[in-house]
Chain A
């Protein structure tokens, strides 16, 4: 069993899958190009996810890539280890790649070895804002010339935001490298940028002329950074930025009042219309302006429906209490509210001690409940009334009286409402909590060999797993874990 790093493993899996479905595609009459497109799409998406960088050092499992020599070059290149220096926000991380071995004969029909975009990006890991590639290369000539030229080639990869700079810098690097003796040691100043993107790099080596002229191999890495490639990468990366931004989950928050209000509104369809008419009649007489306020009417209807005499329709637990006292204070000015309050007497806890059938129990909770209900109505009234501009003075005064008499109680009422939680509400586990609990970006998908527990001590024996930890992918053959519950 060989050991492959995540990028290599992914590459091999992609190849296996593509080869495995080639016949299927042919049988379905799908063109070969579609299969190539699938592969390209797949590799691009994996690359864009930036998940193939391993934070575990895999010195024994090094990435490999082949180098393509220019045409007509019949030399065999041997490359020494390439070191990658990657600058991240936390400093440089350096790891060494395996030896790059390239042979012209390995590339069928071609004397060139190219680093394909996918390979380049997969293996030349883009991590932080900038990474510098330092590739010392040893070149030998197979014809027996025996000349060996060492070229530490240093190339700078800038994030896409500075593609033009990249071209310039790489062009200059290429020029420097063209002069063999000065190729080594050229270092471009790193530049920081806020953009973290992968850079598509496709090195190619122009060899022929130098070979023939000097009988030595001159490594002249020129970067063919075509604009369309950069643009394509820019587009891809911009998309990936959008894709891989963690979106905030905006969940609709329903307060108990809202939900209950909604629930009751639905039940209003079956409400007693006669009672509503009565109220409206009274409203017409006393507060014609209020009639125009839909919300107010709804609330009034809401109240009436709750206690319109049809106890079976009553929804228990909707109102914590039925506030009455503030209404009583304004009794002289608001006969309607008084009527409401009197009707509200029946709006009490219908279960437990608040049995609807028994009116005797209501009064002792009447005050508290009345206060809260008035507070509820008044608060809505306030909002509705405040929005209206065509109040007459009477109405304003009455509304002011409402607010004045209820403001002082609002805070208390609201506090009361908050304090009175449903019984055993702490025992409830909402669906939202469960969803949030299992919602995480760090996921391990694997198989278990054994799960052991002693009291609250758990032991995990896992295998064949793929981990996505903080956006980076890792694999394991075996994993052992301990946890305490």
Chain B
């Protein structure tokens, strides 16, 4: 099974909202919605692994770190993201990272 962590993204949340609407209108069952989400997990994991090539660097100050159930959660402040020549600065960012070596669902 693929990681479900990408469900908390714009794409994942919009899919869940759409599925919720269809469930509310009784057009699909919750079980079918779950199957769709599982399919989404597979698709996005594969897409990110195969269809994305760019690289990003960032630098900031680490406010908080947490490691639980093999999941790292960081909160960084005053972060600069850089890709090629572009630079973006944010005051606060949260990073949620699952183990990249393991493909088992957390």
CA distance A479 to B42 in the complex (A): 21
Asked if residues B94 and A9 are in contact (CB atoms below 8 Å), the reply is no
- Contact check: which of A2, A52, A448 meets B97 at CB < 8 Å? A448
A177-217: which residues lie under 8 A (CB-CB) from chain B? none
Given known contacts A440-B75, A469-B81, A485-B61, A13 and B93 CB-to-CB distance under 8 angstroms: no
Q: Which of B57, B63, B93, B100 contacts A444 (CB 8 A)?
A: B93
Q: Which residues does chain A contribute within 8 Å of B104, judged by CB atoms?
A: none
Contact (Cβ within 8 A) A437 B64 = yes
| Cβ contacts A to B, 25 pairs, < 8 Å | A2-B53, A9-B47, A20-B43, A21-B32, A21-B35, A24-B36, A28-B29, A45-B14, A45-B17, A49-B14, A51-B10, A55-B88, A57-B86, A440-B94, A443-B95, A443-B96, A446-B95, A447-B97, A447-B99, A447-B100, A466-B11, A468-B9, A470-B88, A480-B56, A481-B60
For A438, give its contact among B3, B60, B94 (CB under 8 Å). Answer: B94
* A449 contacts the other chain (CB 8 A): yes
On chain A, the residues within 8 Å of B94 by CB distance are 438, 440, 442-444
Question: Given A34-B27, A479-B57, A483-B62, A444 and B95 touching (CB < 8 A)?
Answer: yes
Known contacts A28-B32, A445-B6, A42 near B14 by CB under 8 Å:
yes
Partner of A3, one of B5, B43, B53: B53
Bound-state CA distance A463–B6 (Å) is: 13
Interface residues of A in 10-55 (CB under 8 A from B): 10, 12-14, 16-17, 20-21, 24-25, 28, 30, 34, 37-38, 41-42, 45-46, 49, 51-52, 55
Cα distance A34–B100 in the bound complex, in angstroms = 35
Residues of A33-86 contacting chain B, CB below 8 A: 34, 37-38, 41-42, 45-46, 49, 51-52, 55-58, 61
Residues of B with C-beta under 8 A to A49: 10, 14
A408 vs chain B, min Cβ distance (A): 46
Expressed in whole angstroms, the Cα–Cα distance for A316 and B88 within the complex equals 52
Residue among B54, B88, B90, B93 having the largest count of chain A Cβ atoms under 10 Å: B54
Q: Is the CB of A17 within 8 A of B48?
A: no
With A17-B15, A17-B40, A20-B42 as contacts: A41 and B48 at CB distance below 8 Å: no
- Tell whether A445 pairs with B5 under 8 Å between CB atoms, given A16-B43, A17-B40, A464-B52: yes
Chain B interface category by residue count: 35 or more
B14 with A463: CB separation less than 8 A: no
Closest to B70 in A: A448
CB distance from B101 to the nearest CB of A (A): 7
Chain A interface residue bracket vs B: 35 or more
A372 interface contact, C-beta 8 A? no
- How far is B13's CA from A45's CA once the two chains are assembled, in angstroms? 9
Question: Is A478 in contact with B55, judged by CB distance below 8 angstroms?
Answer: yes
Q: Which residues of A contact B (CB under 8 A)?
A: 1-4, 9-10, 12-14, 16-17, 20-21, 24-25, 28, 30, 34, 37-38, 41-42, 45-46, 49, 51-52, 55-58, 61, 437-438, 440, 442-449, 451, 456, 458, 460, 462-470, 473-485
A446 touches B90 (CB 8 A): no
User: CA of A480 to CA of B82 in the docked complex: distance in angstroms?
Assistant: 10
Contact A468 B10 (CB under 8 A): yes
Q: Are B48 and A42 in contact (CB under 8 A)?
A: no
Chain A proximity mask over B69-104: 1 for CB below 8 Å, otherwise 0: 000111110010101101010101111111111000
Q: Closest CB-CB distance, A411 to chain B, in whole Å?
A: 38
User: Are B28 and A30 in contact (CB-based, < 8 A)?
Assistant: yes
- The CA-CA distance from A264 to B44 in the complex, in Å, is 54
Query: Are A476 and B55 in contact, with the CB atoms below 8 A?
Result: yes
Inter-chain contacts of B58 with A (CB < 8 A): 460, 479-482
Question: Cα distance A45–B14 when bound, in Å?
Answer: 6
By a CB distance below 8 angstroms, the chain B residues around A474 are 56, 83
